[in-house]
Amino acid sequence: MFNWKKNKKNSDSSAVKKSNLGTRIAELFGKSANLEDFYEELEEVLISGDMGGVVTMELVAELRERVLKDKLKDKETILLEFKRIISKHLITTHLVLSKDELNLFLVLGVNGVGKTTTIAKLAQYYKNKGFSKIVLSAGDTFRAAAIDQLKIHGERTGLRVVAQKHGSDPGAVIYDTIASAYQKGDELILADTAGRMHNKKNLVNELMKINKIISTNLKGRGEYKKILVIDATTGQNGLQQAEVFHEAIGVDAVILTKYDATARGGLVVAINKKLKIPVSFVGHGEGLDDLSEFNAEQYLDDLLAI
Ligand SMILES: Nc1nc2c(ncn2[C@@H]2O[C@H](COP(=O)(O)OP(=O)(O)OP(=O)(O)O)[C@@H](O)[C@H]2O)c(=O)[nH]1
Ligand SMILES: [Mg+2]
């Protein structure tokens, strides 16, 4: 169920959740003197809701055209038309595990977005789906506490963790994980990565190396997905991050975290429309169960307060 708004018991969302984007859009109809004013104010609301300038302009232009062409007048019809327009651009993917081969999710993202927490949540999610042979790979060897953090999650979820020392080569950690996963007949590897390196170039180079090691070692024997974690509260910055990672190694799916802590949901539309990367899950709290499959219909209803 897509219920991040209701399920926010562990989050400190009160400070950020000032106004709901949908409520603000709905209010515009009462406020605007004419349709022109409405479009302008709609653009402002969407941009402030993280949809991004270019994407917003394109969507509102599409709405203008439809309203003119179909002579739409009342608020409900115009909102429904806008919903239809946005929904055309939404792309969702459900990360269904292959039962016949080893699945590997490489979890990417800049520091602090929630990668390690999301790995624990994913482990819990797939355990609930009946997969028990899951192994966590401590690929963030850069940050001192990262390995211990993953080990704690391993203990909490009752899963094996493959790790080496702080500062070791993350490519070697992932190589070891793959080798041992084949040996033990594991179903899923959830691999953590560093969110920070000495600079962005290092980070990208490291990821390209890891990507190559995985592709070489899983070749034809496994299902490999690159999952980018984005913190929903970082706004358009999230879109730039997606661009960098996508260009470096290609991203298969996005997971948006901290949805409980933002009232601006437009980033999903921006990522889908601009980069054509699908969204798979939404994180809405710090607990292991605070992860839901992305539901486009519910997302739209919420975005537009329909
Ligand atoms: N409210 C809220 N907090 C979250 C969510 N996901 C993660 N967090 C919190 O965000 C903080 C950072 O999470 P981590 O999982 O350590 O992030 P990371 O990307 O692994 O960070 P680095 O390893 O430093 O790169 C922690 O305090 C988490 O509890 C979420 O969906 N909602
Ligand atoms: Mg981490």
Domain ranges of the chain: 102-251
Q: What are phi and psi of 2, to 5 degrees?
A: -95, 85
Q: At residue 176, does pLDDT exceed 80?
A: yes
Residue to substitute in 6, 286, 289 for testing ligand 1 pocket (most ligand atoms within 8 angstroms of CB): 286
The 3-class SS string of 72-118 reads: CCCHHHHHHHHHHHHHHHCCECCCCCCCCCEEEEEEECCCCCCHHHH
Q: What are phi and psi of 303, to 5 degrees?
A: -60, -40
Cβ-based neighbours of 69, under 8 Å, separated by 6 or more: none
Q: How many angstroms separate the Cα of 299 from the Cα of each of 256, 269, 279?
A: 12, 10, 11
CA Rg value for the chain: 21
The number of the ligand 1 atom at minimal distance from the alpha carbon of 110 is 25
Taken in order 271, 273, 277, 282, the sign of the CA dihedral is: positive
pLDDT at 82: 92
Distance from Cα 140 to the centre of ligand 2, integer Å? 7
Distance from Cα 30 to the centre of ligand 1, integer Å? 39
Distance from Cα 258 to the centre of ligand 1, integer Å? 8
Instruction: Give Cα 216 to chain centroid, integer Å.
Output: 26
What is the C-alpha separation between 300 and 12, in angstroms, rounded? Answer: 24
What residue owns the CA closest to ligand 1's atom 25? Answer: 111
Higher pLDDT, residue 201 or 94: 94
pLDDT at 5: 43
CATH T-level topology, domain 102-251: Rossmann fold (3.40.50)
pLDDT at 13: 33
Q: 3-class SS at 284?
A: coil
Q: At residue 10, does pLDDT exceed 70?
A: no
Q: Which strands form 279-283's sheet, in the order they lie side by side?
A: 160-162, 134-137, 188-191, 102-108, 222-231, 253-257, 279-283, 291-293
Residue to substitute in 117, 119, 229 for testing ligand 1 pocket (most ligand atoms within 8 angstroms of CB): 117
Using one digit for the tens of pLDDT, what is the confidence trace for 217-237? 997 888 999 999 999 998 888
What residue owns the CA closest to ligand 1's atom 29? Answer: 286
State the chain's mean pLDDT as an integer: 88
Neighbours of ion ligand 2 (CB under 5 A): 115-116
Distance from Cα 126 to the centre of ligand 1, integer Å? 19
Confidence of residue 306 (pLDDT cuts 50, 70, 90): low
Q: At residue 211, does pLDDT exceed 80?
A: yes
When pLDDT is averaged across residues 186-204 and rounded to a whole number, the result is: 88
Distance from Cα 5 to the centre of ligand 1, integer Å? 18
pLDDT at 276: 95
Least confident stretch, 31-35, 116-120, 254-258 = 31-35
The number of the ligand 1 atom at minimal distance from the alpha carbon of 290 is 31
pLDDT at 32: 75
Using one digit for the tens of pLDDT, what is the confidence trace for 112-149? 999 999 999 999 999 999 999 999 999 999 988 999 99
